Amino acid sequence: MTLGGLAPKPPNPDKGPMALELNHAQMEVIRRHAAQDYPFECCGVMLGKANGVGKVVSEIVPLKNLRQDPARAQEWLPLDDPTRESGRNRFLIDPLEQLQVEKEARARGQDVLGYYHSHPDHPARPSIYDREHAWPRFSYVIVSVEQGIARELTCWVLDEKGETLCPEQVEVVG
């Protein structure tokens, strides 16, 4: 499944796995957003271009985690047991905000390369829930936030079979 047809092209198998390329300022935006939203999960979109060798991020778009507004979140994606899931362990992107970001990105010739979110007081490793809600080819950055301080940052991509989130290399440039 793709959002707005903006999924990056799959890597060329002859060239090995793709890498996600971020600059230092973009990394700082993600880390600052994660620390700011603590103890809740933060979330956002990474825009840019995939070139067959890598995914070059040109813009980080921080978004609001609708799970911090339980009534509104229940309208969009109801939970069977809202007491087990909250903004502390789940994020939900407003579909209208997502569409607006995609529309603006498309107008600027950019693609949605992936998403980022934080894991408050948990490792920067994907959960079963993360895997079940991921799409192939998109990059998923996870940043661990311990006691309000952004720590480890990892990146993952779902395999084409939709079974496993595999580590994706992050190259920090500039």
Q: pLDDT per residue over 80-95, tens digit each? A: 766 666 656 678 888 9
Task: Give the residue-averaged pLDDT of 144-161.
Answer: 96
Q: Which of 45, 27, 7 is nearest to 158 (CA)?
A: 7
Which pTM does this prediction carry?
Answer: 0.85
| Architecture category of domain 24-173 in CATH | 3-Layer(aba) Sandwich (3.40)
Mean pLDDT of the chain: 86
- For β-strands 165-167 and 149-158, DSSP reports them as antiparallel
The residues facing 19 across adjacent strands are 54, 169
Give pLDDT, residue 13.
Answer: 42
Domain residue spans of the chain: 24-173
Give pLDDT, residue 9.
Answer: 42
pLDDT tier for residue 8 given thresholds of 50, 70 and 90: very low
